[in-house]
Amino acid sequence: MRKITALLSAFAIILTLSGCDKKKSESEPPEVEEVVTEAVEEDTEPVFRELKDEDFAPIDLNLSIVDKESPIDIQCADLSGVDFGPVLSPCKATDIVNKYLPRQQFPESPENQAQYDKNREYFLKKESYGQIEQIVHLDTKLYLGVNYDDLCGSHASAVFSYDLETGESKMLTEHIGLEYNGGFSALTAVHDKLIYINHIDDSMGDIKSYELYRLEPDTGETTKLAEINGGDGYWLSRIIEVPEGVMVSGFINHEDEEGSNTFTNTAVIDTYDIETGEKLSTSHEDTPFERTWGFCDGEPVEVSGGLKSDGTGSEPYTIKTQYYTIDTGMKNVGGVYAWKDRLCILVNERMTYGADEHRLYTYDLKTMERTKMKFNGFTGSVNKYGDGIISAVHTSAMEKGGYVALTQLYYILPEVGVAYRLDKIESENIYDLDDIFCLISYKKEERTNEEEGYFYNGFNIPPDKLYWFYKK
């Protein structure tokens, strides 16, 4: 495999400092009596604050787009030498494919049925180069969850490592077989190990149980840690690192009374030792469904409000971090981005077809001001990024062979109302990780409708470039 060449484009804010030079005196400076002051020890631990929207002074702020140097770094690597496949998913086998892909589709149109049969035959023999569905960043490497099943799920998948410094890649492990349908879902880093979930399905394709696995990032060795019952409507929702190991949380949703249209969620929280798989603790509590929206210094941001469970309207949103609670008094919130002393929320103030009014509000706990900016045109994919926000706006362009998906990137500093215009990339595959932000573009390929027709889905296109942004 040829070595990947990394193209680095460095960006930095240039601050211009101006001042006055004082003329030096030719005479000796007079003696100054030394003043001794006692050091005052400041309490650096913030005091938890309960605030409301009216506690902040409202200020309107215009968002200006600039083409100046940005305070973030953009890096790009050529992935043309990275080989993920091709692989033929086992669900395309002749004896089982009819379960997933019925043959008769156009009983009243022999012409359409003939074209469908031709496309179907080609598709069932076509191997897949795989699609990158998950990315985990650990040290200098990315761990890529690749799915080859272009028919019905994740019956063929693998995990690859990719070294950002050397461009080297290798397969760590793979799952190929009808007994696998998790696609290494919930792949995440926990205490320098990789953790993932495999789904165990019943004969109807519903999840019967979940298996929790540990994957060694250096050797690819896998170890089954635990099996989690998926019955009774249980849905696994989150896997996160906790000091004692790994926490697996899920919920069971059940109707309070028959026909009531109100629901209670039984939160199921289990903690496991990642070395032995021993269950360290478990909790089952009837509680309103836990909603979190991003993280603030590593802790989940709690969100309450929004649509009522009975569908009669919306309640104002309240945002809670480990540092503060802010009752925003606002509805139709579309994004929450929290820092230690600052909170941004994205609000749609007029939800009508073709006339949305997106606004970005920023609560500054240092100045006790709340700024408001027009945010139309920046709402494609908005993510917290260091001290600011990355907005990835999806567009398209007509080129030979059809439309090309594009992503225009902006880096926004809400407190000053500046949006730095970054690159426009032929990609819409975005991965927002804790400390790194990635995009993947795929090679252009001339496709033949006569061959693929009804079944074109892009799985047979190898990756082209990897873009990533280190969060400062």
Summarised one tens digit per residue, pLDDT across range 251-306 is 776 555 555 455 556 677 888 999 998 988 887 765 444 577 888 887 889 898 87
* pLDDT reported for residue 36: 44
249 in a domain, yes or no?
Answer: yes
| C-alpha to C-alpha distance for 135 and 161, rounded to whole angstroms | 10
Closest CA to 104 of 96, 113, 95: 113
The residue among 286 and 333 whose pLDDT is bigger is 333
Q: In the predicted model, what is the mean pLDDT of the chain? A: 78
* pLDDT reported for residue 88: 92
* pLDDT reported for residue 408: 87
* pLDDT reported for residue 21: 36
**How many domains, the chain?**
1
* pLDDT reported for residue 380: 75
Q: Which two tokens stand for residue 63?
A: 């968002």
The residue among 81 and 246 whose pLDDT is bigger is 246
257 in a domain, yes or no?
Answer: yes
Name the pTM for this structure: 0.72
**Pair 208, 236: CB distance under 8 Å:** no
* pLDDT reported for residue 11: 29
273 in a domain, yes or no?
Answer: yes
Residues composing the chain = 472
pLDDT of 320 above 90: yes
* Partners of residue 324 on adjacent β-strands: 49
Segments forming the whole domain that contains residue 274:
232-290
238 in a domain, yes or no?
Answer: yes
pLDDT of 184 above 70: yes
* pLDDT reported for residue 362: 96
64 in a domain, yes or no?
Answer: no
266 in a domain, yes or no?
Answer: yes
The residue among 31 and 424 whose pLDDT is bigger is 424
Summarised one tens digit per residue, pLDDT across range 189-244 is 999 999 998 876 655 556 667 888 999 999 999 999 988 765 566 777 778 888 88
**Pair 183, 159: CB distance under 8 Å:** no
* pLDDT reported for residue 158: 94
The residue among 11 and 463 whose pLDDT is bigger is 463
* pLDDT reported for residue 153: 84
pLDDT of 16 above 60: no
Share of the chain above pLDDT 70, in %: 76
The residue among 11 and 272 whose pLDDT is bigger is 272
pLDDT of 19 above 50: no
286 in a domain, yes or no?
Answer: yes
pLDDT of 26 above 80: no
Share of the chain above pLDDT 90, in %: 25
48 in a domain, yes or no?
Answer: no
* pLDDT-derived band at 37, boundaries 50, 70, 90: very low
